[in-house]
Amino acid sequence: MTRLYFRTISGVFALVMLAPTGAVGQDAPRTPWGDPDLQGTYTNKTITPLERPEALGDKEFLTAEEVASQEQARLDRNEELLYAPPQRTVAGGNVGGYNNFWLDGGTRPTGRTSLIFDPPDGRMPARTPEGAQRKTAHDAAFPVAGPFDTWEDLELNDRCLVWSAGPPMLPSAYNNNFMILQTPGYVVINVEMIHDTRFIPIDGRDHLPTTIRQWHGDARGHWEGDTLVVETSNLRRTEANAAAVGGDPVLLRAANGGTDDTITVTERFTRADDETVHYEFTIEDPTQWTRQFSGEFPFVALPPEELMYEYACHEGNYSMINILGGERALEKATATDGQP
């Protein structure tokens, strides 16, 4: 399969055609001990959506003109929100885009119309009947607006437990930077979002027993030519009645009503050039979807002046206190036996 990415250089759009996956990276640089060298600090931010908008039908790629137009539209939107006048709002209302300054989801598409390339329609496959019932029941039981009786009613990203660290390592609204480090026997990925570091053994050891579950699963890597293949199992799901699946757009960690290990995520990392690592993921869970699905996008090297910083997100942060405190204030204000 041919890989297609668009890259912006000094305002000029260059179309980068990457060779078929099996041929990419054949002349990749090597570590002192001989492994392909993936090390560096990268960003995966992009405005390309996970799923292809239905209105685009079977359109797989954007033209160079469409890429330029989408990027300019995002730049214009960012500028408009940056200089938008302040606006008053009522409690619980829409506060507008005042905080867009803090977001950094990128301005460029990848050149595809979706991150997902398989199925060919660029969308997640249909859920199994049981999976669809569970999602409907979950959405009804845990609406976005609450109620929030305890911290357990908040999603995993609200609780600073799991966000976009993976697997798969999907782009998010901000903190889309990753540092890849290698030693003999390990690949380590430090993630800017929250506080995560993935340690991936590549020494041939077996997976942990399936009874040991972790939010990021149990990863094991191996080399296929110059491509690092990482297979992850033992992904922890939320409890049957828990809401906590936030920061996980595919709801990978949602409860499936069972305790068996049914999720498999396979990731592939291939150095495409000095500044790009091609990333591909495949997700399979027969309890949730009727078939597996795959996506791809580039990890692009950060310029030297851009650094990764600590994101000190933790479960006791002010957001949690304020959300629960606000809910208690709302309850008090709407109580039938008293008004504020």
Q: Is residue 2 pLDDT above 50, yes or no?
A: no
Residue 216 has pLDDT above 70, yes or no: yes
Q: By percentage, how much of the chain surpasses pLDDT 70?
A: 85
Structure tokens that stand for 182 in this block:
């290698």
Q: Residue 148's pLDDT is what?
A: 85
| Average confidence (pLDDT) over 26-32 | 84
CA distances from 131 to 125, 285, 286 (A): 12, 10, 9
Q: Across the chain, what does the average pLDDT equal?
A: 85
Residue 114, domain member (yes or no) = no
What is the pLDDT averaged over residues 183-197?
A: 93
Task: Indicate the range of 34-38, 137-141, 264-268, 335-339 predicted with least confidence.
Answer: 335-339
Q: Give the torsion sign (CA, 152, 157, 159, 160).
A: positive
Q: How confident is the model at residue 128 (pLDDT cuts 50, 70, 90)?
A: very high
Per-residue pLDDT, 98: 62
pLDDT recorded at residue 244: 60
Number of domains in the chain: 1
Determine, yes or no, domain membership for 119: no
- Maximum mean pLDDT: which of 33-37, 137-141, 146-150, 246-250: 33-37
In-domain check, residue 256: yes
Q: What percent of the chain has pLDDT over 90?
A: 53
Q: What mean pLDDT is predicted for residues 300-316?
A: 88
Residue 81 placed within a domain: no
In a domain, 122, yes or no: no
Asked whether residue 131 is domain-assigned, the answer is yes
**pLDDT single digits (tens) 197-209:** 999 999 999 999 9
Whole domain around residue 187: which residue ranges? 23-56+127-334
The whole-number pLDDT of residue 94 equals 63
The CATH number of residue 274's host domain is 2.40.128.20
Q: H/E element holding 139? A: helix 129-141
Residue 337: its pLDDT value, please?
Answer: 56
The SS3 assignment for 141 reads helix
- Res 163: pLDDT: 83
pLDDT band at 12 (very low <50, low <70, confident <90, very high): very low
CA distances from 316 to 18, 44, 158, 209, 329 (A): 45, 28, 10, 31, 19
pLDDT one-digit tens code per residue, 73-118: 999 999 988 888 777 766 656 665 567 888 899 999 999 999 999 9
pLDDT at 72: 97
Given a cut of 70, whether residue 3 has pLDDT beyond it is no
Mean pLDDT of 58-82: 95
Q: What is the pLDDT of residue 9?
A: 33
Is 268 a member of any domain?
Answer: yes
Q: Is residue 159 part of a domain?
A: yes
> What is the value of pTM for the model shown?
0.87
